Amino acid sequence: MTDDHPVLRGTWSFPTTIWFGAGKISMLARACATLGINRPLFVTDPGLANLDMVTLALEQAATDGVSAVPFSDIKPNPVSANITAGVAALRAADCDGVIAFGGGSSLDAGKTIALAAAQPDDGIPLWDFEEGRDDWRRAEPPLPVVAVPTTAGTGSETGRSTVVLNEATGRKVIITHPGMMPGIVIADPELTLGLPAHITAATGMDALAHCLEAYCSPFANPMCDGVALEGMRLIRENLTRAVADGSDLGARANMLAAAAMGSTAFQKGLGAIHAMSHPIGARYDTHHGLTNAVVMPYVLERNRPAIEDKLARVAAYLGLETGSGGFNSFLEWALELRARFEMPHTLAELGVEEEYFDALAADAAADPTAIANPIALDTTDFRELFEAAHAGRLG
């Protein structure tokens, strides 16, 4: 072994059972039965709760013998009060599992409720499950979860973590427990057909950020590298199609797969894109995928010395070897996507205020996702990044 060629080592695991395909939502009751769930809490967000897709799913499940209890008291960026209310609803209805149905907020809230509800009242506080701690080892296992994504972005359906805003501290906290991995995922692309173009674009950029940061993470996991790379190819070939024509079922299906691949890949780690996005979202309640898209180019430039060769390989695989070539081609593609989707170019356009740079930088440096950034960044480095992203200064 030499420093240039270390012997590969690691602990690798991959996600759960995924029932993928149009019409698979009809198997919701079967999924519950497979996991031993008799009376699930059906966790979704207020915007979905009264839509036909939810009504039909609940009616079909009831016809098949599973009577679910609806719960939709969830904010777009879930807060601890949503989790507390969900646990109370679950216990009041004597539910024994969770169906998490919707976008990232519903999936994260549902998984977190399943974790919190399984703990005794005098058990481990929610914040003790923050990523980086090992308190989960002494916890009760979460209740079983069936995850049904209706957006192609967060990939929370194939993840062991969630993000919840701690209202007392104003900080987004990554909650982690290996048992929060859903037991079965129903990935039905027909459920994403009604997603508006701007949400399709923002969630798609979130999936891209997951694949991108996972691939660039310095930690070793070649299986995740392969998943991330192919996820980026699917996004390259399908995101603009899905945004342009929301009824394109093929593009919707490929984006749904790419989102799950992004979450699978970021077992390897994320980076400064997410480290910046989390405190911005906590303070300004911005859409997570949109925020990732805004900061992405600035983080790429900051990480350039460590990732230039990697992104040259990605650019070649994605067929981006035009114009400047290599790293520049990937950066140009990211900027082109933002412009095509009419997304802000700067944090100033997103509403971020300079007076909070110090606090945002401190929170970004402390965020667990910063650990996997290809270049170690401290609070000063993050403040410089916030300044560059606010001013629109690249290079």
Q: What is the DSSP string of 164-207?
A: EEETTTTEEEEEE-GGGS-SEEEE-GGGGTT--HHHHHHHHHHH
Question: In terms of domains, do 144 and 280 share one?
Answer: no
User: Is 370 within the bounds of a domain?
Assistant: yes
309, 159, 267, 299 alpha-carbon torsion, rounded to 10°: 40
Question: In terms of domains, do 158 and 201 share one?
Answer: no
Task: At 66, list the tokens.
Answer: 């599973």
Q: What is the pLDDT of residue 11?
A: 60
Residue 306 scores a pLDDT above 80: yes
> Distance (Å, rounded) from C-alpha 110 to C-alpha 121?
19
Where in the sequence is the domain holding 70, given as residue range(s)? 17-192
Question: In terms of domains, do 172 and 258 share one?
Answer: no
Domain count, the chain: 2
pLDDT digits (tens, 9 = 90+) for 166-202: 998 888 888 989 899 999 999 999 999 988 999 999 9
Residue 35 scores a pLDDT above 80: yes
CATH number of the domain where residue 59 is located: 3.40.50.1970
Residue 2 scores a pLDDT above 50: no
Reported as a pLDDT band with limits 50, 70 and 90, residue 58 is very high
Cβ–Cβ < 8 Å for 205, 289: yes
Question: In terms of domains, do 107 and 120 share one?
Answer: yes
Question: In terms of domains, do 236 and 347 share one?
Answer: yes
- One-letter amino acid at 267 equals Q
Which of 182-186, 273-277, 287-291, 322-326 has the least mean pLDDT? 322-326
Residue 99 scores a pLDDT above 90: yes
User: Is 5 within the bounds of a domain?
Assistant: no
Burial of 363 (0-12, 13-18, 19+ CB in 10 A): buried
Q: What is the pLDDT of residue 77?
A: 87
What is the arithmetic mean of pLDDT over 12-38?
Answer: 90
Average pLDDT, the chain: 92
Asked which of 144, 162, 192 is the last residue of a domain, the reply is 192
User: Is 11 within the bounds of a domain?
Assistant: no
Buried b (16+ CB within 10 A) or exposed e, 156-195: bbbbbbbbbbeeeeebbbbbbbebbbbbbbbbbbbbbbeb
Residue 358 scores a pLDDT above 70: yes
Q: Percent of the chain having pLDDT more than 70?
A: 96
Question: In terms of domains, do 167 and 267 share one?
Answer: no
Question: In terms of domains, do 95 and 204 share one?
Answer: no
CATH number of the domain where residue 235 is located: 1.20.1090.10
Asked which of 143, 168, 192 is the last residue of a domain, the reply is 192
Q: What is the pLDDT of residue 186?
A: 94
Question: In terms of domains, do 209 and 176 share one?
Answer: no
- Axis crossing angle, helix 272-284 with helix 357-366, rounded to the nearest 10: 130
Residue 378 scores a pLDDT above 60: yes
Reported as a pLDDT band with limits 50, 70 and 90, residue 5 is low
Reported as a pLDDT band with limits 50, 70 and 90, residue 274 is very high
Which of 170-179, 200-209, 256-265, 326-335 has the least mean pLDDT? 170-179
What is the arithmetic mean of pLDDT over 72-99?
Answer: 95
pLDDT digits (tens, 9 = 90+) for 101-112: 999 899 999 999
What is the arithmetic mean of pLDDT over 313-336?
Answer: 88
Asked which of 138, 158, 192 is the last residue of a domain, the reply is 192
Residue 9 scores a pLDDT above 70: no
User: Is 335 within the bounds of a domain?
Assistant: yes
> Distance (Å, rounded) from C-alpha 146 to C-alpha 133?
26
Task: At 320, list the tokens.
Answer: 């981006």
Question: In terms of domains, do 128 and 185 share one?
Answer: yes
Task: At 103, list the tokens.
Answer: 């976008």
Residue 1 scores a pLDDT above 50: no
Q: What is the pTM of this model?
A: 0.90
Residue 150 scores a pLDDT above 90: yes
